[in-house]
Structures are given as C-alpha cells and as structure tokens.
Amino acid sequence: MTSSEAPAAQSGGETPSEGHHHVPALSVLGVFLRIGVLAFGGSTQAWMHRAIIEDHQWLSEREFLSGFTIAQVLPGSNPVNLALYLGMKLSGGLGATAAVLGMVAPAFCIILVLGLLYRLFGDYPTTHAVLTGVACIGVGATLSVGLKVALRLDRDLLTLVITLSTFTAVGIFRISMVPVVAVAVPLSIAAAYWERTHKARRRDQAGATAAPPASDSEQAGK
C-alpha cells in the first residue's frame, strides 16, 4: 500500500459528454481494485478522479462532482459512497457491486495485516511515530482533495457564501454535521434553483430584446 496524495491532474483530450455510459463491470472492478490498493484516507477520492475522469474519461467533471457531493452528505464511508455512485453510473447495479468490492476487499486484507503487525510491535515508540506520520499524510491528502474540488466549483457569490458558512459552522464552531447538512442542503438546492431560473429569465429577456423587428413584408404576410 502506498500513501500519497493523488498526482496532479494531467488530463488531456476531450471531456466526455454527460449521458448514458456503459463500461464492462470487469473493467470497473479492475480500476477500483487498483484504487483500493494504492490509496487511503482523503486521497481516495482524488485517485478516483484521476482514474475515472483523467485516465479513462468515462464521466464528465460535472457528473463526478455530483457524485462527490452526494457521497459527502450521505451517512457511511465517503469513498465507498462515491465508489457506489460511480459504479452505478458506469455499469448499473453490477458495476456498483464491482466498485464497492474493489474498494473494500483490498482494505479489509490490509487492515488484517496491519492489525497483526500492531499487535506485535504496538509497544515500540517507533510504531506510534510512524502512525503519526501517516495521519499527517492523510490530513494533507484530504486538503488536496478539497482544493481540487473547490477549483472546479462555479465561482460566484452564492457558492462562496454557502462554502464559507458550512466551513464556519463545522470547522470553527464545531457544530455537528447532521444539523448543518439538514439546513445547508435544502437552502443550497433552493438557492441554486432560484439562481438558475433567474439567469434563464434574464437570458430570455435579453434574447427578446435583441431580436430584430419583423419587416413590413413579414407583417403583411401574417
């Protein structure tokens, strides 16, 4: 198992369009088995982004971010939630099963081995120093994922207000995630819906204003 922050984006080529996708379940299993072995902690989502979006280009950025958001607000392990979503998008129920199996099976085996090693060497000071270093790497990897996602969000006042409000409530005032999610999610949905309809209305009004007036011959024909 290697601990690392996911490599920086090196995406090239065209971004896949949103819509129906079908990837063989065995391909999904292979990709997620590799992720399950190589990644841990906060770096897992970044490795998923690299494999699904940058390397294979199976989904679009917007589809990935939608799944990332859903995985964050649902209960349970965020990486497993995201793997379930991505597998479902790529290959239906069989793909979801393959993705979750690929994420969980390597981690289960590695945890068994690490548990045995900790039982044998847990009393040594060096062991605790190593675990502290691994924890620091996990924190750094989590921050890298947050920055990577933040750079792909819409840059407007509404997004900034929601982001800062959530960060302040959870990170500074230590409010539990349950009430924060219960309040923030409906407000975010309502605000995003209002903003989208408002922009569409302004676009329609601008189009109607810019439309050229009908000529005399067209009016006569009517």
Per the listing, tokens 């239906």 go with: 92
Indicate whether 217 belongs to any domain: no
Same domain, 143 and 193: no
Other CB atoms within 10 Å distance of the CB of residue 68: 20
149 and 186 both lie in a single domain? no
- Specify if 94 maps to a domain: yes
- One-letter amino acid at 67 equals G
One domain for residues 138 and 162: no
Which residue among 153, 174, 189 closes a domain? 153
| Assigned token pair, 82 | 């995201």
Q: Tell me the two tokens of residue 118.
A: 């900790």
Q: Do the domain assignments include residue 59?
A: yes
Same domain, 79 and 22: yes
Last residue of a domain, one of 116, 137, 153: 153
Distance between first and last Cα of the chain: 74
Tally of domains within the chain = 2
Q: Note down the domain range covering 20.
A: 12-153
Look up the pTM and report it: 0.72
Say if CB 15 and CB 61 are below 8 A apart: yes
Two tokens, residue 5: 């922050």
56: DSSP letter? S
Residues 22 and 120 in one domain: yes
Q: Is residue 177 part of a domain?
A: yes
Q: Are residues 90 and 196 in the same domain?
A: no
Do residues 145 and 193 both lie within one domain? no
Q: Which of 38, 41, 65 is nearest to 53 (CA)?
A: 65
Residues 123-144 as b or e (16 or more Cβ within 10 Å = b): eeeeeeeeeeeeeebbeebbeb
**147 and 158 within one domain:** no
Same structural domain for residues 105 and 139? yes
Predicted local distance difference test score (pLDDT) of residue 32: 97
Give yes or no: residues 165 and 65 share one domain: no
> Any idea which residue has 């009430």 for tokens?
179
* pLDDT the model gives residue 42: 64
Structural domain contains residue 36: yes
Residues 166 and 131 in one domain: no
Residue 111, domain member (yes or no): yes
User: What is the phi/psi pair of residue 59, to 5°?
Assistant: -130, 165
Residue 88 resides in a domain: yes
Say yes or no: 148 and 44 in one domain: yes
pLDDT tens, per residue, the chain with 222 residues: 444 444 444 444 445 656 557 899 999 999 999 999 988 666 788 889 889 998 999 999 889 988 988 898 888 888 999 999 999 999 999 999 999 999 999 989 999 998 999 999 989 999 889 888 888 887 887 787 778 777 877 777 888 888 899 989 998 999 998 899 889 889 888 888 888 898 888 888 887 776 565 555 555 555
Whether 2 maps to a domain, the answer reads no
